[in-house]
Amino acid sequence: MKTQVAIIGGGPAGLLLAQLLHVRGIDSIVLERRSRAHVLGRIRAGVLEQGLVRLLEAAGCADRLHAEGHVHHGTLIAHADRVFRIDFSALTGSPVVVYGQTEVTRDLYAARDAARGRTEFEVEAVTIHGADTDAPQVSYAVGGEARRIECDFVAGCDGFHGVSRRTIPDTVRREFEKVYPFGWLGILSETPPVSEELIYANSERGFALCSMRNPRLSRYYIQCAPGERAEDWSDAAFWDELRRRLPADTAAALVTGPSIEKSIAPLRSFVCEPMRWGRLFLCGDAAHIVPPTGAKGLNTAASDVHYLWHALCDHYLNGCDDGIDRYSGRALARVWKAERFSWWFSGLLHRFPDQSAFDLKMQAAELEFLRTNTAAQQALAENYVGLPY
């Protein structure tokens, strides 16, 4: 088989890149190691920056988002039984949109189907050949049948555990990582959200987050110790602990119910440099991971797609390779800013096992400064709604 761009990974980053390339007449093949049902069954966050919304519009995949997504003009932060609001729209002129990542992926698959784009599922033994040459190839197997793609470029959108990053030689690749000493225990429940906007809570018992997918579907998280198992938490134990971490008025208004999904996510910060080796480009989790505190995972993947899409369009449509040559530097400049924000916001809201009494006082002072200082709120808001591409 031959194509212009081989895309490894059929999650939102790979699908968005494929659809954006399609609307500009550039061919691609998408390879996904899981089944389509598995990809659409993954529960992920859904706070979208306007940059991602505009990319989905450019891809022709934003109709349902605009019909069903919820525009949030701010967020709430709770500490010491006090709640204050960060007004995104007043401080930056821009809101965010709450629309589940699963729904983004569903819309992108529908567009891929309509475009009759080729997507291979349940692929195995994916190997990238000749990424540092002018004629890269990708070999793989489906149901035991060996297959090979000849292509101009390879986009590695296959996540942290994928093959793409590992294809870059150890002598070239440099990785930076911070592992946090806690995780997030999250549940999804068919209950009305406790608030119209997200609530980030710092309590003496640990962090909590009140989020939502729609007016009938809520997503809640609590900070938990590493090594804990989701199955060891009953629904009742989760709801009781969540209430203890929320302001009294919020806890009293909480509507509880059976969980329909429960899981624990570890937290880490991770960056790989460079994000390009020859004709191989890394996008999204293949190159970087952020803790979910700042809702930057999907959004940072989208900014990678933005830079790569424009670079490939310049190559094919304008005969210019400046965007390809500058892809890694451009993407990493924004990635590191998102990493900084997610690291800072995580440090502000979580309890760390080695925090001293002085550290806790500094954390409380930082929260109070944020509550009372417009410039600090604006800095948070600018990062949360998304820095420019």
Active-site annotation holder among 99, 140, 180, 200: 200
- Is residue 72 part of the annotated active site? The answer reads yes
- Is residue 220 part of the annotated active site? The answer reads no
Q: Where are the alpha helices (DSSP H) in the chain?
A: 12-23, 36-41, 50-58, 63-68, 88-92, 101-114, 163-167, 235-245, 248-253, 297-318, 322-349, 357-372, 374-385
Which residues, including other chains, have CB under 8 Å from residue 91's CB and lie 6 or more apart? 374, 377, 378, 381, 382
- Is residue 296 part of the annotated active site? The answer reads yes
How far is 386 from 389, CA to CA, in rounded Å?
A: 9
Residues facing 138 on adjacent strands: 128, 149
* Token code pair at residue 311: 């670079």
The 3-state secondary structure of 220-271 reads EEEEECCCCCHHHCCHHHHHHHHHHHCCHHHHHHCCCCCEEEEEEEEEEEEE
Listed residue (212, 224, 223) closest to 254, CA to CA: 212
* Token code pair at residue 282: 């890394």
- Is residue 169 part of the annotated active site? The answer reads no
Helix (H, G, I), strand (E, B) or coil at 128: strand
Active-site annotation holder among 109, 140, 180, 384: 384
| Inter-residue contact 235 to 190 (CB < 8 Å) | no
Active-site annotation holder among 12, 22, 72, 95: 72
Active-site annotation holder among 22, 79, 288, 296: 296
Active-site annotation holder among 292, 306, 315, 316: 292
Residue tagged 């959108």 (tokens):
157
Residues facing 220 on adjacent strands: 187, 210
- Is residue 384 part of the annotated active site? The answer reads yes
As a whole number of Å, the end-to-end CA separation of the chain is 34
> What residues act catalytically?
72, 200, 292, 296, 384
